[in-house]
Chains A and B, each alone.
Chain A
Amino acid sequence: MLTTEEIAQIEHEISLVPQRKAACIEALKVVQQHRGWVSDESLKDTATMLGMSAEELDSVATFYNLIFRQPVGRHVILLCDSISCWVMGYEQIRDHLIQKLQIKYGETTPDGRFTLLPNVCLGTCDRAPALMIDDHLYQNVTIEELDDILHHHR
């Protein structure tokens, strides 16, 4: 069941577009903002609100890579794996994270704290390698700094 707050926010998004369905990406974002991810149940509820079938909405949801259809940790680490970060050695950062957190790409730490995902170019190629944790962008990341960075996200 969507919360009244979620419903209100989704209704607001719907009011901005010419057809209810057109607000579906915004609606998914609203749900994800509140819950961290979009469960099958939330997806169905959201679809009903938008006058869509679960299929129609899931078709959109599964196309985009930042709508999470599986549970994620409290913090999502998006590690840039595109060209400039690759040139600047992001793979070391990756290996370090994997080793440190003991999870692979797509996995969540057992304490539910971090989910690690690869991500395409974050648009900060002059400060490579880069990663984002939630809304925070980290640039020119070095292995030495990583522990500190992770420490910020409890």
Chain B
Amino acid sequence: MPTIYIDNVPYEVTAGKNLLEACLSLGKDLPYFCWHPAMGSVGACRQCAVKIFKDEADTKGRLIMSCMEPVRDNLRLSIEEPEAKEFREHVIEWLMTNHPHDCAVCDEGGSCHLQDMTVMTGHSYRRFQFKKRTYQNQYLGPFLNHEMNRCIQCYRCVRYYKDYAGGKDLDVFGAHNHVYFGRAEDGVLESEFSGNLAEVCPTGVFTDKTLKQHYTRKWDLTMAPSVCHHCSLGCNITAGERYGSLRQITNRYNGEVNGYFLCDRGRFGYEFVNGPARIRKALVRTKLPEAVSREEALQEVTTQLKTARVIGIGSPRASLESNFALKALVGEDNFHSGVSDTDYDMVNMSLKILQSTPARTFSLREVEKADAVFILGEDLINTAPRLGLAVRQSGRQQPLETVMQASIPYWQDAAARELVQEQHGPLFMATLTATKLDEIATATLHASPDTIARLGFAVANLISAGSPEVTHLSEEEQALAEQIAQALVKAKKPLIISGCSTGSEAVLEAAANLTAALHAQNPETGLVLTLPECNSMGLAMLGGHRLDSAFAAIHNGYAEAVIILENNLHRCADKAEVDRFLGKAKQVIVLDHLHHATTEKAHVLLPAGAFSEADGTLVNNEGRAQRFYQVYPTAEDIQESWRWLAQIGQALHVPLMSQWENIDDVNRALMEVEPKFRSLEALAPPAGFRISGQKIPRETHRFSGRTAMFAHHNVSEAKPPQDPDSPLSFTMEGYRGQPPSPITPFFWAPGWNSMQSVNKYQDEVGGHLRYGDPGIRLIEPGQDGLNRYYHDVPEDFQPLKDHLFVLPLPHIFGSEELSSFSPGIAERAPKPYVALNPRDAQTFGLEAGEILSFTLNHQTFRLPVKLYPELSPGTAGVPRGLQDVPFFEVPAWAIILKPEPAWKNQPHTIS
């Protein structure tokens, strides 16, 4: 490790970094703007200037930009040298010549990097006497607000948006001191990762528009560490509340998972929590329209259940604790996973593969370091968005080797990109239709699931003869398979990605074989499988029976009552079937946070805490268990599902549940009953954890108005609510230092009020959080010792006359249930459609926008046609999970109905 001297004090630093990173990692306060830990250096802002000296005798030194200077052994630099300090102060002065100084009305105020850096440099007096230039702002869609006058031209936004995230519709225009960052014209920003601009921008040019609608300063938020509930990756988020409503989601750095970035579904999907569809009071059908109290509701449930045989239906979007509580309440035999048959099979298969494969499941950080990737079936941007962003970075791995060879440090961002031009490392994509990652793919195959699986098997067979041979491959497919095999075998860290979204087990099996074959040659091989929901994995690990056995149990009289946990069954089984089931059950008890078709049928409806009102654990697609924390005390009668269930269990005298007071009790029982969860012990500090006898505050020490904010209810300040479940307090009192990483409610350090303060929480900038990144892996590679090859290679897909093989097409905005109740997300969701290959459309005599009618599993659909040239002939795509499209099990064959001209004039309807 090289030694550098900072103001004459020697420090050991990591080789290969730049001086800015080294200084920040040492905890020094050195201002910067254009550098970003995930994006490297370009030297634009000149804010990070320090003096360096030739040797001890050199007293004059020269100014350099620390972000552009590699660490060298014995290098001497000074941060404190007067000229360096003065220069840094003047850089702020320059930046401020045109800045509007509108902090008071700026959403960034109080969490603004520009404010922090201004204070840090000491600039305070304005000498610039002339007019400021002003700009027009643009409409950028429902997520971001644009205020160009505040821009300090650090170029981070375009570097992030274009270079890092692959966006096309944001750029820099003009020159000299008239540069403008925006779109060519007003319009919705297209990137699925646009929200990160709000954090990437060091000031208030791009700010969270959803926050603006219920604005609160960061220092006035009550915050808790949370985990995103909108896909299976489990990105870490910080959720902030004021006056009982959830105000904002920001990125919570996790060095292994999401790093610095979230997707827009994760960042802006939270608004359902505050929405009109929320269930806030317990309802009992016989007592409608009045709501009942918590106690009455519980009374009702226990009375009903005392005499009835009860089954439970769990949920892939409910916490491990809630699912376990239900399982404990109804008993193992009566616990069912509330997922569609396809999802059930796919997720269980995924779990089996992860348990048996000898390869590691890569975390997102590891994905970024993979140097050859083969994706089978998944349209990542729409099924696991943040993973798609990570795959984009992996495409840089092989080209970066050329960069190293040319002795250019990898963080010299512009130079590195210039050297490698448009080169990308090997990325192969076999997907149902065109995807956004295709543009960086080495080769793509757009085909039906079976054809995709066959390609996967073919590659596996080329790598290891242990994997079965694929017969009747076309020449092109053979050539593609060989190309992929070669690239994967040559790679240092090859990665196979697949998942559940195609609904094809063959695709998963092919991925498993590929991984096994590669791993036999290269132990660095990785596998990533994406799952349908945020806790699909946790639910699968808990076991549980198929949904149809739940239906059968009611229909054949085995049980009379059902408890449905945070689940809209109409999203996982045919409407008719669900309705028949709910109609037959004598008692339907539903716990959920949103009104939907299933809650409508409830006899008792219990208001369950949404993620921001609950503590719980989710298990993500890697098998990483992560704890999320209640952000604010629940309003009205809302409480965690597991708490409702524990209360029911206690009333019914279920022995296992008799002692359950808080989440630690639930988890203790879980670990006892299900040993595979034993390592959860270390997941998070228990509720009784204290530092210096203190709890950890959810509020900053600047939190304002607490004596006044409820004065309209009562002038005397209420006793702060207690949190029985965690070491976090709902107030600003408590331990002021840095808490353990899993229970860090917000990032803040003296002088660092913005998100950039995360520097102070990392072992080194961009590295791991001090004390370790949160989360515990529950699945170890090859743990069941059953590594083997699957042998059922499917036949190639054959179109059927007058039929179409309907495939689910996922959408980042619209396919996931909870987020689609948030207005911004709903606005971005597609309208219902059916995607056809133009050839098929022609066969059926249809043009884009005209209605295709088909029957699928006894339901008739009439959907407007979209033409997808990349979709295989003989298949059709229907958006997955849209609120306006009834559930149907896919993939499946649909019978095409003869077009009836009259329908063409009808509005787009679905019956």
Whether chain A touches chain B in the assembled complex (some CB pair under 8 Å): yes
Chain A residues within 8 Å of B184, by CB = 40, 43, 53-55, 58
Chain B residues within 8 Å of A62, by CB = 173-175
Chain B residues within 8 Å of A40, by CB = 184-185
Asked if A59 is an interface residue, CB under 8 A from chain B, the answer is: yes
Chain A residues within 8 Å of B162, by CB = 56
Chain A residues within 8 Å of B170, by CB = 55
B464-489 with Cβ < 8 A to chain A: none
Q: Are B421 and A59 in contact (CB under 8 A)?
A: no
Given A54-B184, A56-B162, 9 more pairs with CB closer than 8 A: A40-B185, A53-B168, A53-B169, A53-B171, A55-B168, A55-B169, A58-B171, A58-B173, A63-B174
Chain A residues within 8 Å of B185, by CB = 40, 54
Whole-angstrom distance between the Cβ of B885 and the nearest chain A Cβ: 31
Chain A residues within 8 Å of B171, by CB = 53, 55-56, 58-59
Query: SS class of chain A's interface: helix, strand, loop or mixed?
Result: helix
Whole-angstrom distance between the Cβ of A31 and the nearest chain B Cβ: 16
- Given contacts A53-B168, A54-B184, whether A59 and B173 have CB atoms under 8 Å apart is yes
Chain B residues within 8 Å of A15, by CB = none
Residue of A nearest to B190 (CB): A53
Chain B residues within 8 Å of A54, by CB = 169, 184-185
Asked if B437 is an interface residue, CB under 8 A from chain A, the answer is: no
Query: SS class of chain B's interface: helix, strand, loop or mixed?
Result: loop
B162-193 with Cβ < 8 A to chain A: 162, 168-175, 183-185
Q: Are A63 and B168 in contact (CB under 8 A)?
A: no
Asked if B56 is an interface residue, CB under 8 A from chain A, the answer is: no
> In the complex the two chains form, what is the Cα distance from A40 to B184 in whole Å?
9
> In the complex the two chains form, what is the Cα distance from A59 to B172 in whole Å?
5
Whole-angstrom distance between the Cβ of A82 and the nearest chain B Cβ: 16
Interface centre among B162, B175, B184 (most CB of A within 10 A): B184
Fill in one digit per residue for A57-68: 1 if any B CB lies within 8 Å of its CB, else 0: 011001101000
Could you name 5 residue pairs across A and B whose Cβ atoms are closer than 8 Å? Answer: A19-B421, A56-B168, A58-B171, A58-B184, A62-B173
Q: Are A55 and B183 in contact (CB under 8 A)?
A: yes
Whole-angstrom distance between the Cβ of B637 and the nearest chain A Cβ: 50
Chain B residues within 8 Å of A19, by CB = 421-422
Q: Which 6 A-B pairs have the closest CB atoms?
A: A53-B168, A55-B171, A59-B171, A54-B184, A62-B173, A55-B184
> In the complex the two chains form, what is the Cα distance from A56 to B167 in whole Å?
10
A31-52 with Cβ < 8 A to chain B: 40, 43
B186-210 with Cβ < 8 A to chain A: none
> In the complex the two chains form, what is the Cα distance from A65 to B178 in whole Å?
13
> In the complex the two chains form, what is the Cα distance from A54 to B183 in whole Å?
9
The tally of residues in A whose CB lies under 8 Å from a CB in B reads: 12
Q: How many A-B residue pairs have CB under 8 A?
A: 34
> In the complex the two chains form, what is the Cα distance from A63 to B176 in whole Å?
9
Chain A residues within 8 Å of B174, by CB = 62-63
Instruction: Choose from B169, B175, B183, B422 the contact partner of A63 (Cβ within 8 Å).
Output: B175
Interface centre among B169, B171, B183 (most CB of A within 10 A): B171
> In the complex the two chains form, what is the Cα distance from A56 to B169 in whole Å?
8
Residue of A nearest to B161 (CB): A55
Chain A residues within 8 Å of B422, by CB = 19
Chain B residues within 8 Å of A63, by CB = 173-175
> In the complex the two chains form, what is the Cα distance from A59 to B184 in whole Å?
9
Whole-angstrom distance between the Cβ of A65 and the nearest chain B Cβ: 8
> In the complex the two chains form, what is the Cα distance from A53 to B170 in whole Å?
9
Whole-angstrom distance between the Cβ of B812 and the nearest chain A Cβ: 20
A105-149 with Cβ < 8 A to chain B: none
Chain B residues within 8 Å of A43, by CB = 184
Fill in one digit per residue for B391-408: 1 if any A CB lies within 8 Å of its CB, else 0: 000000000000000000
> In the complex the two chains form, what is the Cα distance from A55 to B182 in whole Å?
8
> In the complex the two chains form, what is the Cα distance from A131 to B499 in whole Å?
66
Chain A residues within 8 Å of B183, by CB = 55
Whole-angstrom distance between the Cβ of B884 and the nearest chain A Cβ: 31
Whole-angstrom distance between the Cβ of B281 and the nearest chain A Cβ: 49
> In the complex the two chains form, what is the Cα distance from A19 to B175 in whole Å?
24
Residue of B nearest to A61 (CB): B173
Fill in one digit per residue for A15-39: 1 if any B CB lies within 8 Å of its CB, else 0: 0000100000000000000000000
Chain A residues within 8 Å of B172, by CB = 59
Chain B residues within 8 Å of A59, by CB = 171-173
Whole-angstrom distance between the Cβ of B139 and the nearest chain A Cβ: 15
Interface centre among A19, A59, A63 (most CB of B within 10 A): A59
> In the complex the two chains form, what is the Cα distance from A147 to B173 in whole Å?
37
Residue of A nearest to B162 (CB): A56
Chain B residues within 8 Å of A56, by CB = 162, 168, 171
> In the complex the two chains form, what is the Cα distance from A59 to B162 in whole Å?
12
B664-713 with Cβ < 8 A to chain A: none
Whole-angstrom distance between the Cβ of B773 and the nearest chain A Cβ: 36
> In the complex the two chains form, what is the Cα distance from A55 to B168 in whole Å?
7
> In the complex the two chains form, what is the Cα distance from A63 to B175 in whole Å?
5
> In the complex the two chains form, what is the Cα distance from A62 to B180 in whole Å?
10
> In the complex the two chains form, what is the Cα distance from A56 to B184 in whole Å?
9
> In the complex the two chains form, what is the Cα distance from A43 to B185 in whole Å?
12
Residue of A nearest to B174 (CB): A62
> In the complex the two chains form, what is the Cα distance from A68 to B185 in whole Å?
17
Whole-angstrom distance between the Cβ of B365 and the nearest chain A Cβ: 30
Residue of A nearest to B173 (CB): A62
Whole-angstrom distance between the Cβ of B543 and the nearest chain A Cβ: 49
> In the complex the two chains form, what is the Cα distance from A138 to B527 in whole Å?
70
> In the complex the two chains form, what is the Cα distance from A20 to B282 in whole Å?
63
> In the complex the two chains form, what is the Cα distance from A53 to B161 in whole Å?
13
Residue of A nearest to B170 (CB): A55
> In the complex the two chains form, what is the Cα distance from A53 to B172 in whole Å?
13
> In the complex the two chains form, what is the Cα distance from A93 to B679 in whole Å?
84
Residue of A nearest to B168 (CB): A53
Residue of B nearest to A55 (CB): B171
Whole-angstrom distance between the Cβ of A46 and the nearest chain B Cβ: 12
> In the complex the two chains form, what is the Cα distance from A14 to B766 in whole Å?
41
Whole-angstrom distance between the Cβ of B674 and the nearest chain A Cβ: 51
> In the complex the two chains form, what is the Cα distance from A63 to B179 in whole Å?
9
Interface centre among A53, A54, A56, A63 (most CB of B within 10 A): A53
Whole-angstrom distance between the Cβ of A140 and the nearest chain B Cβ: 30
Residue of A nearest to B439 (CB): A51
> In the complex the two chains form, what is the Cα distance from A65 to B174 in whole Å?
9
Fill in one digit per residue for B292-333: 1 if any A CB lies within 8 Å of its CB, else 0: 000000000000000000000000000000000000000000
Interface centre among A55, A62, A63, A65 (most CB of B within 10 A): A55
